[in-house]
């Protein structure tokens, strides 16, 4: 007979080796499946023993499927009366499409109709269809103009061992699927390791890093003890098949039972920093009927294979990746295994292990690409270099990171002294001081209003996208070193470090699309609800909400600290109606400063509704509520143009513009600060109150962060607008290394 076993993409060669070891003949790896020939007993053996196959299909024939009618006639030509009883329910499982059969649901329906019509003609009755729990499943796999039709001998997929759901209610992390766990063990050579250990009179020992709910442990124990994974299954797809040979099946089952050696032992060691616990793994092993003991790993304990599942680490959560790779480095150092196998989304384990993999296997974990990397020859592994941070030795991936550590320690000491002297709790610590470590590091300290005896601290790290001529792996290793060293130097918990990347491009506004807010229940702070993921910080005697995981920026621009203080002083000197206008207001921090300086009326304008809600919360926390403080959601350029036709005028305006924006709310137009600043500033100047004098009233503080920005002084002068550069006096001490962080001007009506 002819059979094929399906498998995940990338498993084909491993599955072919497994089927050969089971005695199957004519094994041929194909795409997503492996075909083999032999008696029915070989297929039964594959069902019982295969840890890598998803399904085992007995081939009935190949048919023409170039058209819908050809599919129907081809299905009717097969001898269904020899395979399906009228009393047995059935279902069709279709895979693949072609130019004329573009929908698997249609293929399923057409194939089902053909089977029913053929049975009616041959047996005088119609078998019932049960898609949920069929007694027999017919497989139809379309490839171009041909389809392979067969009987699914497995029923439910083989990777559903039966033990996975034993602890489902208590599972806190997603388990690694059993076939992926087996592939990890197979590529790592666990079978060979077990044989070598027993030949030496030892118990084979496995160390599993991030084993989650214990799937890797269950598969390793089953392989070491010679237990066929299919013995625990209670139902099979061939039970409703007329071609089933019960005698051959029982013979294969008895052989499998005879091969179990309960006298063998195996040591399973495990370490996981996630919330999953040891009891979960023990319950899974018990459900899988494994007698092996699972216990925590002890440093220095000899193991024959170390496996690690790093596929769960989100690529956008670099602090988690740092922690996972650090655990891998520690495990390699503590246990000195003979072999290592890691399921990983990138190549960084090569650096951690200090060796190139002897074999790799490209796989898909969900929709994400990943690799199983196996390391056999560890004799040349040098281990990770270390750098000294204070009194501690910290493992790093790039030896030159010692220069970054030394630089960061130095500037951190200087910044801390300055911050204490100036009573500043949120400031920039590091600003790409070393070209190879092109990051900025900002420190934020919790507000005194919510802090306990020891205020919490956070680090916001921005990575500038490396140039194209810089190796991506090297740049990523440097960033991981930054994320390892910075918390140590600054005394911040690793989980309180947040990373973002700033691209050196202008494809659109960085704030045009805002991340969805995290779910959760708001808590109260200063009488106002504190959004999920948000914290409170102090600046200039005011309290502001920050959120390090919601958007690119956390809610307050530290480089404008002195600018905000200047606005407050200008507000104090302003006479008359004392009206303040904040354009492109973001989270309204400037509005809070102006109101604190005595401005009786504030107007806060921004296109983003979430930003305006954030601004309203900031104002309310600082006691500025009421109808005299208004918040306007609008396209600023259009709104300024409209206001020119009204009697509304303001004494003081703050306009901190984006470099570029093409938000949907702007319609078909976009905003470019260099191109559009003249039009904007002319419009703003017409909204200023008249005759108050420069710097006192009728003044706009205009700012942008385009480093190459040059105001068109002549065009502005022709329109009666005066502009004065005050950038130097608005750059805070902690940004003095990068004075081009923003440009700032006083704008008045001449």
Residues in CB range of 62: below 8 A, 6 or more apart: 146, 147, 148, 149
Same domain, yes or no: 458 and 394: yes
Q: Give pLDDT, residue 514.
A: 40
**pLDDT above 60 (res 518):** no
Angle between helices 472-490 and 318-335 (to 10 degrees): 90
634 vs 211, 603, 611, 682, CA distance in Å? 51, 12, 12, 19
- Low-confidence winner among 43-52, 421-430, 571-580, 688-697 (lowest mean pLDDT): 688-697
Same domain, yes or no: 147 and 180: no
Q: Give pLDDT, residue 326.
A: 78
Task: Give all strands of the β-sheet with 743-749 in edge-to-edge order.
Answer: 629-633, 601-606, 579-583, 652-656, 699-704, 743-749, 721-725
**Average pLDDT of the residues in 117-125:** 95
Domain boundary among 502, 537, 569: 502
Domain boundary among 351, 375, 399: 375
**pLDDT above 50 (res 122):** yes
> How does residue 693 score in pLDDT terms, banded at 50, 70 and 90?
very low
Asked if residue 544 belongs to a domain, the reply is no
Asked if residue 515 belongs to a domain, the reply is no
* Percentage of residues in the chain having pLDDT higher than 90: 67
Q: Give pLDDT, residue 510.
A: 39
Same domain, yes or no: 582 and 715: yes
Domain containing residue 57: CATH number:
3.30.2130.30
- Span 214-225, pLDDT tens digits: 889 989 989 998
**pLDDT above 80 (res 512):** no
Query: What is the Cα–Cα distance from 317 to 483, expressed in whole angstroms?
Result: 11
Same domain, yes or no: 580 and 696: yes
> How does residue 165 score in pLDDT terms, banded at 50, 70 and 90?
low
Q: Dihedral (C-alpha) 177, 179, 185, 191: value to the nearest 10 degrees?
A: 140
Q: Which helix (H) or strand (E) holds 95?
A: strand 90-95
Query: What is the Cα–Cα distance from 213 to 159, expressed in whole angstroms?
Result: 15
DSSP letters, 418-445, are HHHHHT--EEEEEES-STTS-EEEEEEE
Same domain, yes or no: 433 and 403: yes
Query: What is the Cα–Cα distance from 682 to 640, expressed in whole angstroms?
Result: 10
Average pLDDT, the chain: 88
> How does residue 146 score in pLDDT terms, banded at 50, 70 and 90?
very high
Asked if residue 452 belongs to a domain, the reply is yes
Domain containing residue 356: CATH number:
3.40.50.150
Asked if residue 512 belongs to a domain, the reply is no
Question: Considering its fold, how many domains does the chain have in total?
Answer: 4
Domain boundary among 152, 184, 203: 152
Same domain, yes or no: 358 and 220: yes
Q: Is the pTM of this model over 0.85?
A: no
Query: What is the Cα–Cα distance from 134 to 127, expressed in whole angstroms?
Result: 11
Beta bridge partner(s), residue 29: 34
Query: What is the Cα–Cα distance from 529 to 587, expressed in whole angstroms?
Result: 15
Full residue range of the structural domain in which residue 119 is found: 2-152
The answer to whether the CB of 359 falls within 8 A of the CB of 488 is no
* Percentage of residues in the chain having pLDDT higher than 70: 90
Position with higher pLDDT, 172 vs 546: 546
User: Residue 61, class by beta-carbon neighbours within 10 Å (0-12 exposed, 13-18 middle, 19+ buried)?
Assistant: middle
Position with higher pLDDT, 354 vs 17: 17
- Low-confidence winner among 62-76, 182-196, 386-400, 655-669 (lowest mean pLDDT): 655-669
Same domain, yes or no: 470 and 328: no
- Span 258-277, pLDDT tens digits: 988 766 788 888 887 766 55
- Low-confidence winner among 162-171, 292-301, 530-539, 544-553 (lowest mean pLDDT): 162-171
**pLDDT above 80 (res 323):** no
Three-state SS for 246-262 is HHHHHHHHHHHHHHCCC
Asked if residue 289 belongs to a domain, the reply is yes
Q: Give pLDDT, residue 322.
A: 80
Same domain, yes or no: 212 and 293: yes
Same domain, yes or no: 711 and 565: yes
Query: What is the Cα–Cα distance from 568 to 572, expressed in whole angstroms?
Result: 6
Residue 603, classed as helix, strand or coil, is strand
**pLDDT above 50 (res 730):** yes
Same domain, yes or no: 300 and 357: yes
Same domain, yes or no: 14 and 117: yes
Asked if residue 160 belongs to a domain, the reply is no
Asked if residue 183 belongs to a domain, the reply is yes
31: DSSP letter: S
Query: What is the Cα–Cα distance from 234 to 212, expressed in whole angstroms?
Result: 26
Same domain, yes or no: 287 and 307: yes
**pLDDT above 80 (res 96):** yes
Residue 581, classed as helix, strand or coil, is strand
Asked if residue 312 belongs to a domain, the reply is yes
**pLDDT above 70 (res 490):** yes
- Span 336-384, pLDDT tens digits: 788 999 999 988 888 888 888 999 999 999 888 999 999 987 765 666 7
Q: Considering Cα of 448, then 449, then 454, then 457, what sign does the dihedral take?
A: negative
**Average pLDDT of the residues in 226-231:** 92
The answer to whether the CB of 660 falls within 8 A of the CB of 584 is no
């Amino acid at each position: 007979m002819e059979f094929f076993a399906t498998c995940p993409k990338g498993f084909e060669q491993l599955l072919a080796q497994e089927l050969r070891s089971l005695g199957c003949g004519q094994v041929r790896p194909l795409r997503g499946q492996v075909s083999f020939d032999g008696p029915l007993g070989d297929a039964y053996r594959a069902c019982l023993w295969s840890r890598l196959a998803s399904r085992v299909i007995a081939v009935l024939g190949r048919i023409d499927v170039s058209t819908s009618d050809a599919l129907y006639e081809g299905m009717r030509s097969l001898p269904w009366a020899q395979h399906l009883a009228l009393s047995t329910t059935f279902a069709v499982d279709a895979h693949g499409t072609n130019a004329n059969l573009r929908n698997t649901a249609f293929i399923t329906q057409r194939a089902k109709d053909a089977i029913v019509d053929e049975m009616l003609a041959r047996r005088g009755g119609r078998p019932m269809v049960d898609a949920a729990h069929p007694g027999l499943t017919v497989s139809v796999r379309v490839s171009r103009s041909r389809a392979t039709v067969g009987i699914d001998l497995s029923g439910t997929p083989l990777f559903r061992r039966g033990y996975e759901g034993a602890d489902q209610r208590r599972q806190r992390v997603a388990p690694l699927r059993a076939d992926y766990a087996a592939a990890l063990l197979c590529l790592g050579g666990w079978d060979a390791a077990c044989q070598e250990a027993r030949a030496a009179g030892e118990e084979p020992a496995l160390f599993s890093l991030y084993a989650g709910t214990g799937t890797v442990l269950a598969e390793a124990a089953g392989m070491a003890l010679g237990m066929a994974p299919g013995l625990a299954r209670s139902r099979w797809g061939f039970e409703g098949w007329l071609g089933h040979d019960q005698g051959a099946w029982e013979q294969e089952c008895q052989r499998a039972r005879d091969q179990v050696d309960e006298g063998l032992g195996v040591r399973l060691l495990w370490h996981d920093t996630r919330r999953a616990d040891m009891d979960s793994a023990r319950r899974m092993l018990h459900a899988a009927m494994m007698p092996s003991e699972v216990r925590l790993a002890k440093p220095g304990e000899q193991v024959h294979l170390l496996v690690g599942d790093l596929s769960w680490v989100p690529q956008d959560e670099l602090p988690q990746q740092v922690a996972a790779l650090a655990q891998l480095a520690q495990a390699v150092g503590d246990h000195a295994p003979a072999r290592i196998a890691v399921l990983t989304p990138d190549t960084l384990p090569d650096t951690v292990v200090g060796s190139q993999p002897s074999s790799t296997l490209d796989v898909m974990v969900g929709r994400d690409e990943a690799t199983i990397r196996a390391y056999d020859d560890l004799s040349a592994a040098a281990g990770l270099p270390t750098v000294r941070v204070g009194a501690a030795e910290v493992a790093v991936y790039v030896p030159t990171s010692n220069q970054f550590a030394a630089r960061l320690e130095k500037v951190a000491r200087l910044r801390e002294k300055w911050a204490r002297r100036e009573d500043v709790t949120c400031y920039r610590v590091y600003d790409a001081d070393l070209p190879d470590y092109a990051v900025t590091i900002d420190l934020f300290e919790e507000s005194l209003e919510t802090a306990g005896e020891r205020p919490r601290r956070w680090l916001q790290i921005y990575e500038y996208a490396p140039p194209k001529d810089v190796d991506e792996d090297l740049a990523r290793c440097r960033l991981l070193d930054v994320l390892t060293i910075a918390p140590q130097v600054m005394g911040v918990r690793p989980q309180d470090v947040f990373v973002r990347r700033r691209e050196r491009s202008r494809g659109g506004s960085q704030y045009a699309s805002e991340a969805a807010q995290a779910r959760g229940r708001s808590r109260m702070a200063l009488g106002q609800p504190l959004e999920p993921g948000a914290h409170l910080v102090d600046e200039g005697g005011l309290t502001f909400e920050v959120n390090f995981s919601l958007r690119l920026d956390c809610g307050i621009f530290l480089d404008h600290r002195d600018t905000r203080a200047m606005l407050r002083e200008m507000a104090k000197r302003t006479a008359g109606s004392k009206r303040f206008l904040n354009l492109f207001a973001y989270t309204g921090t400037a509005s809070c400063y102006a109101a604190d300086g005595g401005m009786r009326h504030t107007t806060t304008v921004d296109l983003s509704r979430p930003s305006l809600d954030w601004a309203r919360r900031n104002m309310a926390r600082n006691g500025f509520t009421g109808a005299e403080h208004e918040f306007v959601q609008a396209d600023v350029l259009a709104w300024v143009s409209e206001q020119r036709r009204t009697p509304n005028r303001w004494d003081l305006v703050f306009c901190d513009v984006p470099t570029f924006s093409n938000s949907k709310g702007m319609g078909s137009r976009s905003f470019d600060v260099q191109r559009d600043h003249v039009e904007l500033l002319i419009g703003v100047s017409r909204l200023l109150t008249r005759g108050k004098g420069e710097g006192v009233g009728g003044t706009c503080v205009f700012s942008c962060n385009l480093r190459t920005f040059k105001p068109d002084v002549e065009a502005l002068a022709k329109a009666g607008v005066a502009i004065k550069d005050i950038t130097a006096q608005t750059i805070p001490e902690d940004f003095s290394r990068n004075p081009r962080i923003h440009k700032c001007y006083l704008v008045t009506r001449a």
